Structure 1
Amino acid sequence: MNAVVSRLRLLRRLARRNPPLIMPWTLRRQGILGMNRRNADYIMRYNRRRHYPLVDDKLQTKRLAEAAGIAIPDLYGVIEIEHQVRELDRILEGRTDFVIKPAHGAGGTGIMVLTGRRAGRYIRASGAVISADDLAHFVSNILSGMYSLGGMPDRAILEYRVKPHPIFDAVSHQGVPDIRTIVFRGMPVATMVRLPTRLSDGKANLHQGAVGAGIDLATGRTLDGVWLNRMLDLHPDSGNRIRGIEIPDWDKLLELAARSHDLTQLGYLGVDVVLDRDKGPLVLEYNARPGLSIQIANQTGLLARLERVEALPEIPERADERVALAKEMFGRA
């Protein structure tokens, strides 16, 4: 009951501080792409089923991207069967921080971020301390399919922990912000940054309470944010301004997204990139069925942009030329 009361109080404070909820009819006037049309006209038409395993399996994605020279978080090891869980200490020897996640996870579930060790125990990003047995149990749950699509048996991936770029320090709570780009026929058409909050428990997941902020394709500067379907210009935890943050390595980030089309052969694709403070942009994962909330974050519908790309007589072969064209067509500057 206390949790419910706290949530209601939070929503009341939000209502006092921000403009009204974004209404459905407002979105329709702005050419919002609906789920049914997205599925029928873009996903089913431009994404061949045979290419789905390349993006639904994060391990395949990593190996494919690495072979193509696309920057990704380093792979430390893979646990495929229960017997290998005993080898965790050996695989992680000498490593104080890392990430464990399922190869077929969905919606950001089943991901554990470890930031250090102390007296034989592991420290999570939240500061909680767990034992080696707790960690082994978590990996066993991944193998059992607890976090996978359809509940099928899975594999556990152990990889480099991204160090958040300081550009987002003032507008992010604990976790790592990520940048989602929708790529259509090899061209970036819309992008947003997802900023963790206290409500989202440090996760960059809009459905769990993260902030989504659109990004101007031409300049790489953030626009106002959306939180729980409400527009806002200040981060709900820090109170710092969201608009006007200039994303570093913007052209490189967009080119990574554009090259991902060539890699996956998917015509309609979501590309998630993180900014590491030392390594720069890294591709985190791909999505053959990207969600539609990017339209709310940008306060701009996807439909008109997709139709403009479809109407092009030809699309450049080179990724950098596709990026330049996309910035010209869809930038707000």
Structure 2
Amino acid sequence: MNRWWHRFFRTPRELREMGVVGINMRNARFVLPNNPRNLYELVDNKIRTKEIAEELEIAVPETYGIVRNPYDMSNLDKMLGDHESFVIKPARGSGGKGVLVITGKEDGLYLKPSGTSFTLDEIKHYISNILAGLFSLGGRRDVALIEYRVTPSKILTDISFQGAPDIRLVMLHGYPVMIMLRAATRESDGRSNLHQGALGVGVDIATGTTIRAIHHGKPVTAHPDLKVPLIGIKLPEWEKILDIAVTCHEMTGLGYLGVDIMIDEEKGPLMIEVNARPGLAIQMANGVGLLDRLEPALERSIRFKGDSREEKIAFSKKNFAAKLAEPEAAVAS
């Protein structure tokens, strides 16, 4: 534990002075005032989110099928068809819970990134758990979504262990304020969730270049399994990624949100999910607090409500470009 880490075992007032946003501040100052409750359904239900995204011609993974009840389950063979790789997720899941990634099929068995195999009956049992609400928000009965598995751009597969990395953008009124890449490790079993052992990699808004990385909250410079460098990687199609994120604000009407995007080798950037309550570990990945970025964006959004998509991106690039911290510096969520 380095000397910077000790700085975060302090009072809420001290943390605020350092620009660190905690859950209570996030909810009280940014989520509740900017996200009308009636709009949550647009993002809490992944199927609905995809529908409105497609209406705006935002690129999303193709839907292979939706299982709403046991009757639909009887048609699972038809839904899967010849698809040997796919993703199954709960429509109302959160934090990556309940996401099953299938990367191939061999001798009638479906394979996870780790090599673990599933029979068709076991996949049906898994989907039954989704329908029962095992992974959903509030334990409510749910729906299973089966969709295209992203084949990530090679530059990203080189830094992720058997899983597709995703990019999380935190937005305020359409202004990108902070961005990180989440990459899988052996420990995270192909998933990109930090609490399951994935890596958080800070990304410079101005250039789309990785600038800092953490694993279990501690700064790292190389992937723990692949031993490859994590810093200085330029993400492809950066302008399109920013444009998709700003469009997600426009399509939902939510003021404060997180947008998750993956970069497919052939299809390019795809919008995966929108979150009305994005987590705060992104601060650790970037080594800075959110407050100093959220307040300038909030002030500008109030004064310049007519800013175009291009103007919002330009403002964020200019004002939130990375200021590289000392190698040992870290900011806690």
Whether these two folds match at TM > 0.5 is yes
- Which residue does 1:74 correspond to in 2? 62
Shift of 1:20: 6.1
Residues 73 and 160, structure 1, Cα contact 8 Å, conserved in 2:
yes
Q: Distance in 1 between matches of 2:273 and 2:4?
A: 31
Q: Distance in 2 between matches of 1:198 and 1:60?
A: 32
TM-score by length of 1: 0.91
Pairs within 5 Å for 1:19-168: 22-23=5-6, 24=8, 30-168=18-156
- Which residue does 1:6 correspond to in 2? none
Question: Which one of the candidate residues 310, 313, 319 is aligned to 1:320?
Answer: 310
Shift of 1:316: 4.5
- Which residue does 1:294 correspond to in 2? 282
Shift of 1:60: 0.4
Shift of 1:97: 1.4
Residues 21 and 229, structure 1, Cα contact 8 Å, conserved in 2:
no
- Which residue does 1:331 correspond to in 2? 321
TM-score by length of 2: 0.91
- Which residue does 1:219 correspond to in 2? 207
Shift of 1:84: 1.3
Shift of 1:68: 0.9
RMSD between aligned residues? 1.6
Q: Which moved more, 1:206-215 or 1:112-121?
A: 112-121
Identity of aligned residues (%): 44
Q: Distance in 1 between matches of 2:220 and 2:105?
A: 38
Shift of 1:125: 2.2
Residues 167 and 180, structure 2, Cα contact 8 Å, conserved in 1:
yes
Paired letter, 2:105? R
Say whether 1:169 aligns with 2:157: yes
Residues 201 and 286, structure 2, Cα contact 8 Å, conserved in 1:
yes
Paired letter, 1:298? N
Shift of 1:117: 2.1
Q: How many residues of Structure 1 are paired with residues of Structure 2 in the alignment?
A: 316
Q: Distance in 2 between matches of 1:248 and 1:181?
A: 15
Question: Any gaps of 5 or more consecutive residues in structure 1?
Answer: 1-14
Q: Deviations over 1:74-128 (max 9, x none)?
A: 1111010112111100111122211111101111111111122223322222222
Residues 217 and 330, structure 1, Cα contact 8 Å, conserved in 2:
yes
Shift of 1:29: 5.1
Q: Distance in 1 between matches of 2:179 and 2:306?
A: 20
Residues 152 and 265, structure 2, Cα contact 8 Å, conserved in 1:
yes
Shift of 1:269: 0.3
Shift of 1:21: 6.9
Secondary structure in 1 aligned to 2:223?
A: coil
Question: Any gaps of 5 or more consecutive residues in structure 2?
Answer: 324-333
- Which residue does 1:4 correspond to in 2? none
Secondary structure in 1 aligned to 2:288?
A: coil
Shift of 1:239: 1.7
Residues 22 and 231, structure 1, Cα contact 8 Å, conserved in 2:
no
